[in-house]
Amino acid sequence: MAKGILKVATCQFAVGGSVRRNGNQICSYVKKAARAGAEIVHFPESALSGYGGIDVPNFVDYDWDLLRGETKKIQQAAAKNKIYVVFGSAHKINGSTKLTTGGKDRPHQSLYLINPKGQVQCRYDKRFCIKAELKRYTPGDRFVYFTINGVKCSMLICFDIRFPEIYRELYKRGVKCIFQSFYNAHQKGPSVHSDIMRQSMQCRAATNAFWASMSNSSGYYSPYPSCFIRPDGKIVKQLQRNKAGLMVNTVDLSQRFYDPMEGFREMAIKGKLSNRA
């Protein structure tokens, strides 16, 4: 593919408590994404492990061997189909063989990037966890980056969206495309998330000139679907809420979009909060 162009498959399915079922879903969509011409395929938060507190009550006595085995299958699928894969999972830390509730061995809430050779290229650990998650997960403390076809990318997870400082820092580091995974599912009905999550992602994209793939679980009830957003904040395409699916969109760095902040963004970053002469 030409430099500056990246074909992205954004997927959603009803993430659940069965790691095997989740893994089968991921591997199936990896194959479909490759057949559709995508170079990278993106899945929700907790897509493989299940989400702590809903799909998984806690991580005490969790079957980490099963999780590792299903992760290997995804790596094999990536290599067989020659495609990058971004998927959410829990990451066991500190070498503990048995987790304790609220202990220092709580896992990370992570996104893995598997490359087309089937290798784990990098892992992002969710930096900001909501209060309920802090009982089950350990927050991360670093950014990760990867470049495909000249497009510098980064990964973020759900609640990170509430912190615009994260996105500004990624802008300063030259990131052009964000892969952000969510788990807003199994809710009772519409909520504030219905009105704020896509809109927040559009804002983060528009104020930092990012392309963004936004993958959410489709488990009923999901307050918003997966979306693909361009650097002016417009949603290019979105999937159907509460229904599993896949869409392929294209990042093209040669395209130019409306950007009223151009010429002023760097001024604000440097602390000059007025463009008065």
In this model, does residue 98 exceed pLDDT 80? no
pLDDT tens digits, 213-248? 999 999 999 999 999 999 999 999 999 999 999 999
pLDDT tens digits, 12-24? 999 999 999 999 9
Is the C-alpha dihedral spanning 237, 113, 71, 55 positive or negative? negative
Question: Which pLDDT score, from 0 to 100, does residue 97 have?
Answer: 44
pTM, rounded to two decimals: 0.96
Count H helices and E strands in the chain, helices first.
5, 12
- Which residue, among 233, 222, 232, has the nearest Cα to 199 in the 3D structure? 233
Task: Give CA torsion, residues 46, 52, 53, 56, to 10 deg.
Answer: 90
Q: Are 207 and 178 in contact (CB under 8 A)?
A: no
d(CA 184, CA 223): 7
Q: Are 26 and 20 in contact (CB under 8 A)?
A: no
In this model, does residue 163 exceed pLDDT 50? yes
Question: Which pLDDT score, from 0 to 100, does residue 147 have?
Answer: 98
d(CA 176, CA 230): 10
Ordered structural domains, the chain, with CATH: 5-269 (3.60.110.10)
